[in-house]
Amino acid sequence: MRSKSKIELELKVRNETPLLISTGSAQQGFADFTFIRLVNNRPCIPASTFKGRWRYYFSYLWNAFFPEEKCCHYLGRDGECHCPACRIFGGKGFQPSRVRLTDLVVADSYDSVIRHQVAINRYLRTSQDKALASLEAVDRDADWCGAAEIILTETEMKRELACLLAALKMMRTLGSNKSRGMGWVKIDFRLRPAIELEELWQYLKSDGDSQ
Ligand SMILES: [Zn+2]
């Protein structure tokens, strides 16, 4: 049996512009759309949302660096798949995710901000009647904390880990209204055990041929 290692990540996200990850449907209360909240009423970035973006950038990087073994387009795919993204993030059939993630919860001190938007009719390119919506977002410069665990085999330690960590560095937006400048984020992480990141970036730059 191949030996496996566990890598723990402490994740910190800071939103540089207002951030909204809403339930996707109009809410009761004073704003039409508001943040997904935990039971204690704290806004959170759900693990599933974060993981979806992480997977997207992982696949993007992997396909660029290692095109001989491409990641599939996960959505709408039928049947079992053993591509790198399905191996790491889980796939159909019995393929549990090897990335475990908590929700990312906002720190105590955060401010809310209300934004308004008018829905635009996609075909007529005009504003729709009665389509003014208010959005309650978390204002800029809030900190969000969470944790992740990654289980990798020894052979996956370089390629997979390099793409996973570089994907976190590439992820610069989250949530809705990105085209209106919302949702810009900066992601930092701390690893346990500590890993020399510069070595991993060099490895990617060398196209993985020192593997
Ligand atoms: Zn796949």
Picking from 59, 50, 52, 39, the residue whose alpha carbon sits closest to that of residue 15 is: 50
Angle between helices 159-170 and 197-205 (to 10 degrees): 100
- CA 61–ligand 1 middle distance (angstroms): 15
Instruction: Give the pLDDT score at 38.
Output: 80
> Per CATH, which fold does 4-205 belong to?
Alpha-Beta Plaits (3.30.70)
Mean pLDDT for each consecutive 10-residue tract of the chain (211 residues)?
Answer: 87 96 68 80 92 96 94 71 92 87 93 82 63 87 97 90 96 88 95 92 76 46
In the chain, where the domains are located:
4-205
Picking from 148, 143, 141, the residue whose alpha carbon sits closest to that of residue 190 is: 148
- CA 118–ligand 1 middle distance (angstroms): 38
Q: pTM above 0.95?
A: no
- CA 83–ligand 1 middle distance (angstroms): 4
- CA 69–ligand 1 middle distance (angstroms): 10
Report residue 2 as tokens: 């191949």
